[in-house]
């Protein structure tokens, strides 16, 4: 007996056909077990991908039944949520909470990094370059805070306090490099591509070893 299952989810089809590695998704594993059991009883199961169920008779009724089930007040037997999905959800929730705390307590660092969850770009960078990026992201470097060790007056630049934000985005002495390397506050210290540009800009302006 032949059966055809139509779906618009290409990711599900790929997960079901990827036998090269053990799938961690419990739903996929159970589906494969059920498939094996059905095939062993001489049933032929085919899965066909279609865009958004277009042209399938009864699709409207199926959607209606799905909505009714989702809003039903009767007792259901929910499908267990895979462990990795729970872990991912909790990680994202914690990250969001930390980001809200970060945004609610503004500091000078916010002028450099506006999002707590933005990762430090690490691709194709040596240890020194990663250290420089980390210092810039915290808003503290030798040029801006060395006066605390030397016990001198805070440095000025362009008649303004010398800060990481000023060096990267405002200083008129480096406006040419800023345009050349497309330095802006949204990507300079977070995007893999533009973080590399930031490093190149610092090298060209002889600031790299002063950070």
The helix (run of H) or strand (run of E) holding residue 35 is: helix 26-39
* Residue 128 CA, distance from chain mean position: 25
* CA 179 – CA 167 distance, rounded (Å): 14
Quickly count: other Cβ atoms within 10 Å of residue 119's Cβ. 8
Q: Which domains does the chain have, with CATH numbers?
A: 2-83 (3.30.420.10), 110-205 (no CATH)
Instruction: Return phi, psi of residue 161, to 5°.
Output: -55, 135
| Whether pLDDT at 125 is above 80 | yes
Q: Is 133 left (phi over 0), alpha (psi -120 to 50) or beta?
A: alpha
pLDDT digits (tens, 9 = 90+) for 137-163: 888 899 999 999 899 999 999 999 999
pLDDT digits (tens, 9 = 90+) for 161-207: 999 999 999 999 999 999 999 998 878 888 888 889 999 999 999 99
Q: What is the DSSP letter of 4?
A: E
Average pLDDT, the chain: 81
Alpha helices in 50-183 (DSSP H): 59-71, 83-104, 127-138, 142-150, 164-165, 175-180
Considering all CA atoms of the chain, what is the largest pairwise distance in Å, rounded to the nearest integer?
A: 87
pTM: 0.51
Quickly count: other Cβ atoms within 10 Å of residue 128's Cβ. 12
25 in Cβ contact with 84 (< 8 Å): yes
Burial bucket for residue 79 (CB in 10 Å: 0-12, 13-18, 19+): exposed
pLDDT digits (tens, 9 = 90+) for 28-74: 888 888 888 888 888 888 888 877 655 556 666 666 666 666 666 66
Q: Which two tokens stand for residue 13?
A: 């089809």
Give the model's pLDDT for residue 132.
Answer: 93
| Whether pLDDT at 136 is above 80 | yes
């Amino acid at each position: 007996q032949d059966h055809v299952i139509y779906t618009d989810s290409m990711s599900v089809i790929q997960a079901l056909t990827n036998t090269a590695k053990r799938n961690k998704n419990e739903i996929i594993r159970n589906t494969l077990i059920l498939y094996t059991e059905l095939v062993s009883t001489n049933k032929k199961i085919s899965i066909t991908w279609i865009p958004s169920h277009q042209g399938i008779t009864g699709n409207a009724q199926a959607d209606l039944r799905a909505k009714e089930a989702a809003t039903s007040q009767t007792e259901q037997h929910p499908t267990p949520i895979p462990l990795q999905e729970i872990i991912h959800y909790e990680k994202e929730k914690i990250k969001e909470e930390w980001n809200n705390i970060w945004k609610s307590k503004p500091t000078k660092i916010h002028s450099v990094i506006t999002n707590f969850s933005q990762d430090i770009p690490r691709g194709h960078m040596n240890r020194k370059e990663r250290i420089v990026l980390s210092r810039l992201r915290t808003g503290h470097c030798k040029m801006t805070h060395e006066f605390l060790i030397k016990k001198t007056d805070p440095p000025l630049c362009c008649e303004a306090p010398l800060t990481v934000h000023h060096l990267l985005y405002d200083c008129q002495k480096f406006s040419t490099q800023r345009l050349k390397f497309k330095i802006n506050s949204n990507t300079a210290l977070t995007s893999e591509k533009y973080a590399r540009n930031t490093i190149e800009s610092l090298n060209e302006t002889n600031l790299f070893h002063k950070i």
